[in-house]
Amino acid sequence: MKCNLLTLCLSAALLTPIAPALGSTDNKADMVLDQVLVLSRHNLRTPIVNTGILTEVTDKKWPEWDAKSGYLTTKGGALEVYMGHYFREWIDQNKLLTDELCPTSNEDVYIYTNSLQRTIATAQFFAAGAFPGCKVSIHHQPEIGKMDPVFNPIITNGSPEFKEKALAAMGAYLNGLSLKAGYEELDNILNIKDSQKCKTDKLCNLDNQKNSFIIEADKEPGVSGPLKIANSAVDAIDLQYYEGFPANDVAWGLVDSPEKWQKLNTLKNAYQETLFTPKVIAKNVAHPILNYIDKGFVSVGKGETAKFIFLVGHDSNIASLMSAMDFKPYQLPQQYEHTPIGGKLVFQRWTDKRANKGFMKVEYVYQTADQLRENAYLSMKTPPKHVTLELKGCPIDKNGYCSWKDFQKVMTTALEQ
């Protein structure tokens, strides 16, 4: 069996078939798709950190990018156009919107993003793929570059009690992880023992350094130390691969097996999850976006809001929201990031016409690592990957559907602080 770089090779006997489209079910004729809400991470961007500390922990030169730090790349735009094209085919197949080329109003489609370049641009490219030639408004705060409160994963509880609980939760989460192999792999790739940091600050390996967590009101949860350095370095390396840099330029040609990619991304996933998924933190930082979703999707009747709602934010939004809502653990085949670039939580509200009951189905739709690198075209025939998710408070049937009433209860519980 041939394996592409960054692709897990699994025995065919262990692979479960992946359906070609979202929301497929045995009793399709009885199921009607009423409404969809998508929470998307922006697509491919340049590294947020590509200078400073990264130049100090290696004696090697990092590849240069042709866009500003943290900006959506041209390729990221193309990837999102393809994703939009796939979603439009799925929308049409399930007759969510009227059979017209363009949405007729905000009652059909509503797109709302964080007010950063990469999130706004992601939404623009998605709309170009899903609704080509149509005038579709992209809603966001007027000041570009300033975080929208709905998407800003900051701590809003400034009490000493909350801080104590949050810091303890972060420490406990990180202590439960085994990151030694990942740190050692990154040390070797960076050749950190010959770096400036090793010479001046005695930072010659990452595994035995101490992390210090940061919880402050009106700021994102933070950490200083090796976990932050590792996250920035692995993020830059992942993005090199996705962008299509020559193999010898991706981590200087030193990440040459799925096992190495897996080790490296244990560090990146650990950073994201330690900061944003401990329950006490997640319910606090995800509250604004949960509240927005509840008011615009969950607690309203069918027909009172847009049929297709598309939100564009960040991995921190998805990670904290999933923890606050109590999603069960999941795996994304052929991806190493737990909240990958361009990945989407797709909340689908269905009605069983025969039983006259409402249902919810949630899927993670994402491009694999190699689909990202290869700029793979997406359609119903060549779809992105998708994984059906389950909430602890909303048990699913064999087709992935849970009761709409149970889902409403999940949201009520998630919003409690």
Q: What is the mean pLDDT of residues 104-133?
A: 94
Q: Is the CB of residue 117 less than 8 Å from the CB of residue 145? A: yes
The bridge status of strand 222-224 relative to strand 308-313 is unpaired
Residue 109 within a domain: yes
Ramachandran bin of 334, using left for φ above 0, alpha for ψ from -120 to 50, beta for the remaining angles = left
Q: Reply yes or no on whether 314 is catalytic.
A: no
pTM above 0.75, yes or no: yes
Q: What is the DSSP letter of 265?
A: H
| Weakest-pLDDT range from 236-250, 293-307, 315-329, 354-368 | 293-307
The residue among 249, 281, 313 that closes a domain is: 281
d(CA 305, CA 349): 13
Number of domains in the chain: 2
Task: List the structure tokens of 107.
Answer: 């009652």
Same domain for 147 and 287, yes or no, is yes
User: Looking at 42, 140, 314, 338, which residue is catalytic?
Assistant: 42
Distance of CA 142 to the CA centre of its chain: 24
Is pLDDT above 50 for 145?
A: yes
Q: Is the CB of residue 230 less than 8 Å from the CB of residue 268? A: yes
Name 37's bridge partners.
309, 347
Same domain for 146 and 212, yes or no, is no
Q: Is the CB of residue 60 less than 8 Å from the CB of residue 236? A: no
Residue 6 within a domain: no
Is pLDDT above 90 for 13?
A: no
Residue 294 within a domain: yes
d(CA 109, CA 310): 8
Residue 28 within a domain: yes
Nearest to 121 by CA among 47, 65, 71: 71
Q: What are phi and psi of 181, to 5 degrees?
A: -65, -35
What is the tens place of the pLDDT at every residue in 131-141? Answer: 999 999 999 99
- What one-letter code names the amino acid at 144? I
Residue 305 within a domain: yes
d(CA 86, CA 81): 9
Is pLDDT above 90 for 18?
A: no
Is pLDDT above 90 for 403?
A: yes
Residue 63 within a domain: no
Q: Is the CB of residue 213 less than 8 Å from the CB of residue 171? A: yes
Same domain for 199 and 348, yes or no, is no
Same domain for 143 and 193, yes or no, is no
Same domain for 294 and 365, yes or no, is yes
Same domain for 179 and 219, yes or no, is yes
pLDDT at 134: 94
Residue 45 within a domain: yes
Distance of CA 12 to the CA centre of its chain: 27
**Residue reference for tokens 């087709």:** 399
Q: Reply yes or no on whether 59 is catalytic.
A: no
Q: What domain range is 232 assigned to?
A: 160-281
**Residue 261 contacts by C-beta under 8 Å, 6 or more apart in sequence?**
5, 6, 255, 336, 369
Same domain for 144 and 293, yes or no, is yes
Q: What is the mean pLDDT of residues 311-336?
A: 98
Is pLDDT above 60 for 323?
A: yes
69 three-class SS: coil
Name 309's bridge partners.
37, 110
pLDDT band for 29, please (50, 70, 90 cuts): confident
Q: What is the mean pLDDT of residues 295-313?
A: 91
Same domain for 44 and 180, yes or no, is no
Name 347's bridge partners.
37, 362
pLDDT at 142: 94
Same domain for 179 and 258, yes or no, is yes
Same domain for 173 and 131, yes or no, is no
Q: What are phi and psi of 413, to 5 degrees?
A: -65, -40
The residue among 254, 281, 308 that closes a domain is: 281
> Dmax over Cα atoms in the chain, in whole Å?
72
What is the CATH number for 269? 3.40.50.1240
Is pLDDT above 70 for 23?
A: no
Nearest to 151 by CA among 166, 140, 164, 142: 140
310 three-class SS: strand
Is pLDDT above 60 for 341?
A: yes
User: Looking at 108, 187, 315, 386, which residue is catalytic?
Assistant: 315
388 three-class SS: strand
The residue among 281, 308, 325 that closes a domain is: 281
Instruction: Looking at mean pLDDT, say which of 82-86, 194-198, 200-204 comes out highest.
Output: 82-86
Residue 61 within a domain: no
Same domain for 271 and 299, yes or no, is no
**Residue reference for tokens 């909303």:** 394
Q: Which residue has the higher pLDDT, 90 or 302?
A: 90
pLDDT at 26: 55
Same domain for 305 and 317, yes or no, is yes
The number of residues making up the chain comes to: 417
168 three-class SS: helix
pLDDT at 286: 98
Q: What is the mean pLDDT of residues 149-160?
A: 97
